[in-house]
């Protein structure tokens, strides 16, 4: 089963939690979230993954969204 993950960089506070849950996420030099393998994308279709769901659930500012 696949799911779409959307990043909202303007909500990101660079806390680092998402990367501790999943290596799908990485950070720009300023600490703002990005996809590890696709620097310029804000949406990505991926296979549903428990670690990504945990990262989304635990983001304190809802900068990660599952669509």
Contact predicate 54/9, CB 8 Å: no
Question: Given this model, what pLDDT does residue 38 score?
Answer: 86
CATH: 3.20.20.80, 3.30.420.270, 1.10.10.10, 3.30.70.20. Which one for 2-66? 3.30.70.20
Q: What is the pTM of this model?
A: 0.92
Tell me the pLDDT of the chain (67 aa) as tens digits: 999 999 999 999 999 999 999 999 999 999 999 999 887 899 999 999 999 999 999 999 999 999 9
What are the extents of the domains in the chain? 2-66
- pLDDT at position 32 is 96
């Amino acid at each position: 089963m696949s799911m779409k993950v959307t990043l909202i960089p303007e909500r990101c506070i660079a806390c680092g939690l998402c990367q501790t849950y999943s290596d799908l996420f990485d950070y720009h030099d300023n600490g703002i979230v990005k996809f590890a393998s696709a620097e310029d994308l804000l949406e990505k279709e991926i296979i549903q993954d428990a670690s990504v769901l945990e990262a989304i659930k635990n983001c304190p500012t809802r900068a990660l969204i599952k669509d």
